[in-house]
Structure 1
């Protein structure tokens, strides 16, 4: 169940919002209704919320100020606004603050319900993606010991310090390979080396480049995801950091000898 806090300075509107909507049937726990932005912010400090439904025009701290403050302190909170026609330009400004939606006054409970249901659906998707990303990172961490076992033993004739730097670099790649923007520069910065030097020592120690390890981990994760027929191939492409499905297909076939579709069909 998702938690909702309301911020509205007009008592009649507050009461209507609290009493005219069956929040629990929507999958929402109503924490309460604050009279102004300052009260709402103090409430959030005591009891975190998933959703904030706020009026724009309020004393002490208006809705836009409340949204900005709430988002800076609680990045995961999602905001909805109530707006009169005279405040419509402010409502448009609120959308720039990544507000999920807005409702025009006078209050229509059925419209509030529709907006909240849309917000909940988006929150569910966001949580599902976050859980999947965390699972992928954990899966990559579990693969790392095997991957690191492929490095030369400690008795390797090369510099032991280089090997430790390579281990740190591969650890970083393993934790971030699902990020589309991951690059050699990011990895080099994470271990405090230049791009050129990192790539050189990784090649020296492992026989392969950083890019090879990025692709390998992404393809291994793709292979794992392909065994679940409920996950679309374009979704897999996105999860492992590929913007181009054709590029993903070519990389996958190069590693496994078959296309993602062919691989999936073999595992159904």
Structure 2
């Protein structure tokens, strides 16, 4: 069974979520329903959940701030946003925070059930992958052949398997990073892992998340293109996978400490 926390400041909505859904049939235990983010954080160490379903608009601490705080303390907790706002900026921030899903109000218990059922399947897949790779590492450290080695005569250790998966993910990103619609789910599907576990593996081996890797490759290509005055900045923005010029400028300045224009002027 997976533990769930709910954060929702509207009492009627919170009670509907608690009582209108058969959590047990989903393999979920309702471990706490809270009216704001501070209450969630106060309970977090005493009873760590596997899943957090949180509203965005709450007093004291909004849902996005709560997710950031939760991820900083307990990065394995998977988060789902519940919001009455169909807002692009909120959705973009949610993507950056790698939330599992973004559900719009008014709430539909049937939709919530579907979303949580997907979340449970994702958690199961992540844990199975982690167990398999951890087992491979233990087998390798103890110098005992695992079933695959006995059948095929190979000597693939858990570390080598991880390295190979990461190499596949990195190579895919290098080939696809200029796609405007490139998403974490695309990279995960390319290597046959869940998004969460693939990100953990890539960060473990490279020190970067997939999103950081995509941004780094895009910024390096942008810097290369800026050396040629014939390449206009708005054209470079589109060529490296950005749809928003302001977002491109913001990312470039964060990476190099200069705007694209300032960077180009330094080269003149």
Deviation for aligned residue 1:32: 1.5
Q: Relative to 1, partners in 2 of residues 1:110 and 1:68: Cα closer, same or farther, differing over 3 Å?
A: same
* Alignment RMSD (CA, Å): 2.7
**Residue in structure 2 matched with residue 12 of structure 1 by the alignment:** 12
On the 8 A contact 1:176/1:182 being kept in 2, the answer is no
TM value normalised by structure 1: 0.55
**Residue in structure 1 matched with residue 28 of structure 2 by the alignment:** 28
Q: Relative to 1, partners in 2 of residues 1:87 and 1:40: Cα closer, same or farther, differing over 3 Å?
A: farther
Runs of at least 4 residues of structure 1 off by over 4 A? Answer: none
On the 8 A contact 1:95/1:101 being kept in 2, the answer is no
Deviation for aligned residue 1:176: 2.1
Q: Which runs of 5+ in 1 are unaligned?
A: 146-172, 184-233, 242-268
On the 8 A contact 1:36/1:59 being kept in 2, the answer is yes
Separation in 1, partners of 2:55, 2:14: 10
For 1:85-234, what aligned pairs fall within 5 Å after superposition? 85-87=85-87, 89-143=89-143, 176-180=159-163
Deviation for aligned residue 1:179: 2.1
Separation in 2, partners of 1:43, 1:63: 16
Count of residue pairs the alignment pairs up: 161
Note the alpha carbon deviations across 1:237-260, whole angstroms, 9 max, x for none.
xx9x9xxxxxxxxxxxxxxxxxxx
**Residue in structure 2 matched with residue 38 of structure 1 by the alignment:** 38
On the 8 A contact 1:81/1:99 being kept in 2, the answer is yes
Q: Which has the larger radius of gyration?
A: 1
Deviation for aligned residue 1:110: 0.3
Deviation for aligned residue 1:47: 0.4
Deviation for aligned residue 1:88: 5.0
Q: Which runs of 5+ in 2 are unaligned?
A: 146-155, 167-190, 202-268
Q: Determine helix, strand or coil for the equivalent of 1:177.
A: helix
On the 8 A contact 1:56/1:87 being kept in 2, the answer is no
Q: Relative to 1, partners in 2 of residues 1:66 and 1:72: Cα closer, same or farther, differing over 3 Å?
A: same
Q: Relative to 1, partners in 2 of residues 1:45 and 1:88: Cα closer, same or farther, differing over 3 Å?
A: farther
On the 8 A contact 2:36/2:61 being kept in 1, the answer is yes
**Residue in structure 1 matched with residue 179 of structure 2 by the alignment:** none
Deviation for aligned residue 1:92: 3.0
**Residue in structure 2 matched with residue 248 of structure 1 by the alignment:** none
Deviation for aligned residue 1:142: 1.8
